[in-house]
Amino acid sequence: MYRRLVNLPENHSFFLLGARGTGKSTLVKSFKSPDSYLYINLLLAKEEDLYQGNPDELIATVGGLSKTVSTVIIDEIQKIPKLLDIVHELIETTNINFVLTGSSARRLKAQSANLLAGRAFQRVLFPLNHLELANDFDLESKLRWGGLPKIFSLDSTDDKDDFLRTYANHYLKEEVWSEQFIRKLNPFRKFLETAAQANGTIVNFSNISRDSGVDDKTVKSYFEILEDTLMGFFLTSYSTSVRKTVYKTPKFYFFDVGVARALARHLDIIPKPGTSYYGNLFEQMVINEIIQLAQYYKPDYTFNYLRTKSNVELDLIVTRPGKTRAIVEIKSTEEISGHKLHPMEAFRDEFPDDDFYCLSRTRQAKKYGSVKALHWTKGIAEILELSSESK
């Protein structure tokens, strides 16, 4: 098992949210000794039926715990949101801590507000990143299959492809259809494919609407489902730019490049260095790594992109409270030359006091004007100010 970087509270109740397959169950069962917790798995029909029919049964269960048990883990709490009221009462009236995992915030939003207001902290678990994988990290593998933990227990390329295809189908059936988030499955299936093919690009709602066979309003509701089931996030345009000729529409990034490739039906395409497809995947992966690691270490950081109508773009603007912003360009090449960074310099007047970075596969750190050119792993460490303890 890989050491996960998310910081779980030892002596406080908390939610651990994350898409299916990120390793939530494994993690919460490993950070305490087995005799100190009770584990309730709502994915098991027997346990779901027990508490669905009578949520108050949880009060009796907790009342009968031995003195050695200090924590109750409820896996996939979104299956029975009514349990949150019971958990709330037990947090107030007992010394038991609750660990509540979930892969969908959609059903929890209305009913978990009272818990999230200080009674239960919130953490999010993402796929394995390059720091967690350490010596097992392989860039070509990460770009092809992503970072879900199961991938690293599979040996053959066929098995990895099959797992991702199954995962995509499982998401449709278990996370969306069975929870009745949509009325018709086929338009959503087509939406997923179209949205995944446009992963990391400016969202064109009209084009996606046309390709999916639904109206713009429905497409926007579909994106809300992706956000609420923790399958991705919007990266908004930098709103305080003095430029008037910038795109305002957001980009959308799936949480994992392997899952996005499966949803886009691109698993048969092998990413090859030097191609635009490889470059797009590399950019998506690096942005995911930065934003997901920031959730672990710098949760107050915010992220945007900026693109002018003449298609001059800054891939990422990292706003770091109390510090200078980090202006980031991402390139998948091994060699960086000064002329490739001239477009970044065009933004120097707009961000005169901020730090400019170009992250790539280069091994040799260089500086061109005001732009630091770093290997992407070193650049992430510097941008997020990750200490040696973090790494």
The total of other beta-carbon atoms located within 10 Å of residue 7's CB is: 10
pLDDT of residue 230: 92
The full 3-state SS of 223-288, as one line of letters, equals HHHHHHCCCEEEECECCCCCCCCECCCCEEEECCHHHHHHHCCCCCCCCCCCCHHHHHHHHHHHHH
Cross-strand bridge partners of residue 367:
372
Question: How far is CA 322 from each of CA 108, 163, 301, 325, 390, rounded to the nearest angstrom?
Answer: 33, 43, 10, 9, 21
Identify the pLDDT of residue 110.
54
- Calculate the alpha carbon distances from 336 to 142, 196, 346, 368 in Å: 22, 29, 18, 10
Per-residue pLDDT of the chain (391 residues), as tens digits, is 899 999 999 999 999 999 999 999 999 999 889 999 999 999 999 999 999 989 999 999 999 999 999 999 999 998 888 898 899 899 989 999 999 999 887 767 655 555 556 678 999 999 999 999 999 999 999 999 999 999 999 999 999 999 999 999 988 887 787 667 788 888 999 999 999 999 999 999 999 999 999 999 999 999 999 998 899 999 999 977 666 667 889 999 999 999 999 999 999 999 999 999 999 999 999 999 999 999 999 999 999 999 988 888 899 999 999 999 999 999 999 988 887 787 788 888 889 999 999 999 999 999 988 899 999 999 999 999 997 545 5
Rounded-to-integer distance, Cα 51 and Cα 49, Å: 6
Per DSSP, the chain holds a count of helices (H) and strands (E) of 15, 13
pTM score: 0.93
Single-letter amino acid, residue 162: D
Whole-number pLDDT of residue 179: 66
Give the start-to-end residue ranges of the domains of the chain. 14-124, 130-237+252-279, 280-383
Sign of CA dihedral 48, 50, 56, 59: negative
Reply yes or no on domain 14-124 having CATH 3.30.450.20.
Answer: no
- Residue 346 near residue 340 (C-beta atoms within 8 A): no
> In the CATH hierarchy, which top-level class contains the domain 280-383?
alpha beta
In 3D space, the residue among 46, 92, 40 whose CA is nearest the CA of residue 71 turns out to be 40
User: What pLDDT score was predicted for residue 389?
Assistant: 47
